[in-house]
Structure 1
């Protein structure tokens, strides 16, 4: 019986120690890769070639990171404020309608493979959430913090749910290809990525209907919570004045 070689797992130990000591994550991962390469007897040139290949294959991640400073600069110069004021100038704009339109567009774009077209960092935080908050403020005035947090949470949920159910329709999506490979490895033939994508459409439509129903109830929920907050303030007012007297 062959003895197991645990030396290739030494890279995991480097990652654990590096993160526990709060070293730079990029440095920790690089060191872990070097240690793992030495453990499996990779020569120096092959190790460098492997690092270069993986970097080139993941260059899309590096290009995505370039968007973050751009968004930060736009926010510094009032992107959120402009989004709020623009929505406030549109009559008939409500929080539920804005989030519903975004949900439909996001799910359809994810179904076409345009997953990175929007997202939490580049769309939800600087644009969608301020627009939804601006619409609510335009109708109800200043919003208490719990209501602002609830609207922001719904904006984030719209993006997550739409992408989660929409991306499975795209046949070149990694999860679809993974399911196809898993079925083939286990002897289940006759199922192509196109079939998986087609069978994901009913689930995506069901998620669309359910979430649009939730968003339709959001406006009433906002009004109800504002009314409760106002009643609580009115009830606390006399008590606070009596304590001051």
Structure 2
């Protein structure tokens, strides 16, 4: 029972809002020592766990890389690209990203996008640039709405697209559970095929919401000062003359 002190360490650490990684690591050390393990054995257990689940710790490499890209102008380059694409609106851009994300997930490429890898450094800045070119200066409410829709495009595309892939973990879990419990002969391809209509419906429903986003943003920016609206009107007039 004394090894359960590690749970108290976790509870106390989270209650005092300590760093989650340090809390979990300290709880593991305390549990191992109270369980009769030597410090070397505890360290060996940490190393074995890290080596056997390297994919879980990929964020330790991904996030610094994304940070360096942002520091060297990734978001600015994304905005510059959108300024060159005059006909692309924020809603259309996010609708296209939704379809691409869902098709990629259906092919098993679930790591192709993501909030940290794609939405924050590229998709959201591109959508903001498209909205600012069309509507002028965005209010804080409009900017937060736009970012939330950018994140939702990624989430919906991944959630409903990955079930169309045969080797995804959820499909294998369902088939294994059903076959073991009910003694059936359910194949992963059957579940994947039944997931396609749901994915199509999700694309149509959320895609329609994304296409209506431009009208929603136009209502949100009505309270922007006249200078911002004048600048936006001048930009649109210039684009029409071109």
Does structure 1 residue 75 correspond to structure 2 residue 85?
Answer: no
Structure-2 change in CA distance of 1:49 and 1:190 (3 Å): farther
* Residues 144-155 of structure 1 mapped to structure 2, 5 A cutoff: 144-155=139-150
Aligned residues of 2:139 and 2:220 also touching (Cα < 8 A): no
Distance (whole Å) between structure 2 residues aligned to residue 178 and residue 36 of structure 1? 31
Does structure 1 residue 56 correspond to structure 2 residue 55?
Answer: no
Aligned residues of 2:137 and 2:221 also touching (Cα < 8 A): no
Shift of 1:44: 7.4
Runs of 4+ in 1 over 6 A off after TM superposition: 39-46
Aligned residues: 226
Q: 1:95 aligns to what?
A: 90
Distance (whole Å) between structure 2 residues aligned to residue 187 and residue 44 of structure 1? 46
Does structure 1 residue 108 correspond to structure 2 residue 103?
Answer: yes
Greater CA radius of gyration, 1 or 2? 1
Unaligned 5+ segments in structure 1 are 1-5, 235-245
* Residues 2-17 of structure 1 mapped to structure 2, 5 A cutoff: 6=1, 9-17=4-12
Comparing 101-110 and 17-26, the one that deviates more: 17-26
- Report the TM-score when normalising by structure 1: 0.81
Q: 2:171 aligns to what?
A: 176
Unaligned 5+ segments in structure 2 are 227-242
Structure-2 change in CA distance of 1:195 and 1:89 (3 Å): same
CA RMSD of aligned residues (A): 2.5
- Report the TM-score when normalising by structure 2: 0.81
* Residues 120-199 of structure 1 mapped to structure 2, 5 A cutoff: 120-199=115-194
Structure-2 change in CA distance of 1:77 and 1:211 (3 Å): same
* Residues 205-216 of structure 1 mapped to structure 2, 5 A cutoff: 205-216=200-211
Shift of 1:9: 4.1
Shift of 1:46: 6.8
Shift of 1:38: 5.8
Distance (whole Å) between structure 2 residues aligned to residue 10 and residue 177 of structure 1? 36
Comparing 45-54 and 205-214, the one that deviates more: 45-54
